[in-house]
Amino acid sequence: MPASDAPPKDPGPGPRRAAPALAAFAAVRLLGLAVLAVWSAAAGSSPHTLLSARWDSLWYARIAARGYGYEVVLPSGAVHSNLAFFPLLPWLERLVAAPTGLSYGSAGLVVSAVAGLAAAWGIFAVADLLYGRRAGVLAVALWAALPVGIVQSMAYSESLFTALAAWALYAALRGRWLTAGLLAAGAGLTRPVGAAVVAAVWVAAALAWRRGERSWRMAAGVLLAPLGAAAYVLWVGARTGGGLTGYLDVQAGWGNGFDGGWAFARFIGARLASSAFLAGVGLIAGVLLVLWLYALCVRRRLPAALLVYCGIVVALALCASGYFGSKPRLLLPAFPLVLPPAVALARRPGGWAAAVVGGLALVSAVYGAFWLNGSGPP
């Protein structure tokens, strides 16, 4: 069933209608946390530390505590500055920590838990709008059961960003331009890939304009959408003295850039030429799966806004030159990829769909516990 760029009829994603999707999300995430707790007990590690006080979560917590200006100079001379991290998550961590007395890392877990539910609700809203309630519930369950779904429960910004993106896209599909613009601005204050949300809102507005819609709300939404990302990038440029390219210079210090996927291809090639051959084959299979799912989205004629958003998220994740272990979690916000399999599952008997989702959830839980107690997401 193809989707249309014209606003579909929508019963509204109210709490009652979304309840099964939210319950499915909570069940999958609780399973992941339970397996992590058991695995960590056996490994002698702390689940709380793994979720809230390692890798990027430490950088966010430091920003919440002390603001910007911290950097680490590596022996190679590379500079890792905390200006690479967008401010919305640290702001919210500070907001939660102040009245509760929680540490900033723990406050980040609270933000992530709430944002995860909001993201699940937003994904349901989009899928329900396009394909119906059953597909919406399954889309949420599949998103929660992704192999790196444990990141949704960490003090990271993926859940927060996905929540803002999903609801911005839903608002754009419904023609609620002020809401779409404000949420896109929030996404732009959360992660660099907020540009994908801005582009999606602009595309949706352009198509609505071509259909004859004219309103000051549309114009305001279009103008509001890029303000969050633009404000932070310009502020970083002014602070560093780098002007318009100041933020890119900060990212370059981390080894991040856009090279069309060349560095990633060399990374895979090195694995294929070494004893890690199977890992290289797995990476190729993973990339092909992502591209195949995106092709299915195109074939199913998802609304152009969703295709633009998802395409940019996928392109930035696969074609950036940053740390390669980050790529799976960078794909987490690309939730439109789960819509084709959700629609296919919705056509199957309930028991069959439940078995598939349950199996994927168990694999995700085990992999997440293994991952966090090993190399983990940087």
* C-alpha–C-alpha distance, residues 296 and 337, integer Å: 8
- Residue type at 155? A
pLDDT of 336 reads 98
Residue ranges per structural domain of the chain: 17-373
Cβ neighbours of residue 327 under 8 Å, at least 6 residues apart? 264, 317, 318
Low-confidence ranges of the chain (pLDDT < 70): 1-12, 322-325, 377-378
In the block, residue with structure tokens 């967008």 = 86
Alpha carbon distances (Å) from 231 to 161, 241, 260, 324:
17, 15, 27, 29
Q: At what angle do helices 277-299 and 304-319 cross, to 10 degrees?
A: 160
Q: Are 71 and 80 in contact (CB under 8 A)?
A: yes
SS3 (DSSP) at 86: coil
Q: Rounded to whole angstroms, how far apart are CA atoms 317 and 336?
A: 15
Nearest to 67 by CA among 95, 87, 53: 87
d(CA 348, CA 115): 30
CB 120 within 8 A of CB 84: no
Q: Which of 138, 65, 164, 171 has its CA nearest to residue 108?
A: 65
* Residue 227 identity (one-letter amino acid): L
Q: Which pLDDT belongs to residue 142?
A: 98
The separation between CA 97 and the C-alpha centre of its own chain, rounded to angstroms, equals 24
Q: Is 163 exposed, middle or buried (0-12, 13-18, 19+ CB in 10 A)?
A: buried
Token pair listed for 54: 């390692």
Which residue in the block uniquely carries the two structure tokens 């809401």? 179
Look at residues 130, 128, 129, 123 and name the one whose alpha carbon lies nearest to residue 167: 123
Sign of the dihedral defined by the CA atoms of residues 359, 370, 54, 290, in that order: negative
Eight-class DSSP state of 7: P
Look up the pTM and report it.
0.94
pLDDT at position 6: 58
Among the listed residues 196, 169, 231, the one whose alpha carbon sits nearest the alpha carbon of residue 317 = 196
